Amino acid sequence: MRLRLENKTALITGAASGIGSAIAALFAREGAALALLDIDAAAAEVSARQLVDAGHHAIAVQADVSNADEVQHAVAQAKEAIGRIDILINGAGINVFRDPLTLSDADWQLNLGINVQGAWHCARAVLPSMLEAGYGHIVNIASVHGHQIIPGSFPYPVAKHGLIGLTRALGLEYAARGIRVNSISPGLILTPAAERYFQSCPDPEAERRRQAELLPCKRIGTPDEVAYAALFLASDEARFINATDLLIDGGRSQLYHD
């Protein structure tokens, strides 16, 4: 059977953990050669080594996506190792949840710098060669926070709304030149970041149950469930899908009330 990403290459950011890591594992199984970009070099190395040991083609590159120079350098390293970049997955992101009135300028910038500008830095670094090839798929990992507001999570939703805006604008900009840009908006997904959130609550298990109960399907999502959507959007199967966002939240964001 033909693999869905045979002869394709992908640069995946935030690939050392959670959703990015699940996307990397699935893309590798589907035949893509991978560059795993993360700020955590050691963890990215471990992930790449596991994929290589399983017979896949993967390398680790380090960059803080909020730093344009580091991104350019990492993308150059990635291209040297795996050739042209066909697919970019912008998975790197952090939760910045603060009280609006005591939020520092530094945290405002941290949120936008990683969650929006980081995706732009990576897109900007791969777009010239994608345009030259007339082929490229970009998938940004946004969030339900880019659609709906959960009080207490400011200013993270500002960034995720921006990331969906970036998706739509860039998608139209290069649609006629073979480039597609889409985003995925996951609801709560069981990743190390979600675990850290649970552990920050006075009663982590009660919060876990409360979050599951909020969802129409009564369970929290898994990284693999996001990875399969990323696989579809990043593959040629989705070639007429551009500049749009796919919600993966078990239906939660359509619910008015129980």
Q: What Å distances lie between residue 46 and 49, 53, 55, 129, CA to CA?
A: 5, 10, 14, 28
Q: At what angle do helices 18-29 and 41-53 cross, to 10 degrees?
A: 20
Which residues, other chains included, contact 127 with Cβ-Cβ below 8 Å and sequence gap of 6+? 136, 174, 179
Touching ligand NAD, residues 71-130 (CB under 6 A): 91-94, 114, 118
Among 32, 188, 231, 247, binds ligand NAD (CB under 6 A): 188
- At closest approach, how far in Å is the CB of 14 from ligand NAD? 3
Look at the alpha carbons of 90, 222, 165, 111 in this order and tell me if their dihedral is positive or negative.
negative
154 within 8 A of 95, measured Cβ to Cβ: no
Among 10, 12, 66, 116, binds ligand NAD (CB under 6 A): 66
Under the criterion CB under 6 A, does residue 139 sit at the interface with ligand NAD? Answer: no
Among 111, 143, 183, 211, binds ligand NAD (CB under 6 A): 143
> Is the preceding omega at residue 155 within 30 degrees of 0, hence cis?
yes
Among 25, 26, 28, 65, binds ligand NAD (CB under 6 A): 65
Whichever of 136 and 186 has its CB closer to ligand NAD, that residue is 186
Two tokens at 180?
């597609």
Touching ligand NAD, residues 194-213 (CB under 6 A): 194
The verdict on whether 156 is a catalytic residue reads yes
Under the criterion CB under 6 A, does residue 171 sit at the interface with ligand NAD? Answer: no
119 within 8 A of 127, measured Cβ to Cβ: no
Catalytic-labelled residue, pool 135, 156, 197, 228 = 156
Under the criterion CB under 6 A, does residue 179 sit at the interface with ligand NAD? Answer: no
Touching ligand NAD, residues 24-63 (CB under 6 A): 38-40
88 within 8 A of 11, measured Cβ to Cβ: yes
Say which DSSP state 54 is in. T
Q: Rounded distance, CA 22 to CA 32, Å?
A: 14
Among 48, 123, 125, 141, binds ligand NAD (CB under 6 A): 141
Q: Which residues bind ligand NAD (CB under 6 A)?
A: 13-14, 16-20, 38-40, 64-66, 91-94, 114, 118, 141, 143, 186, 188-189, 191-194
Active site residues: 156
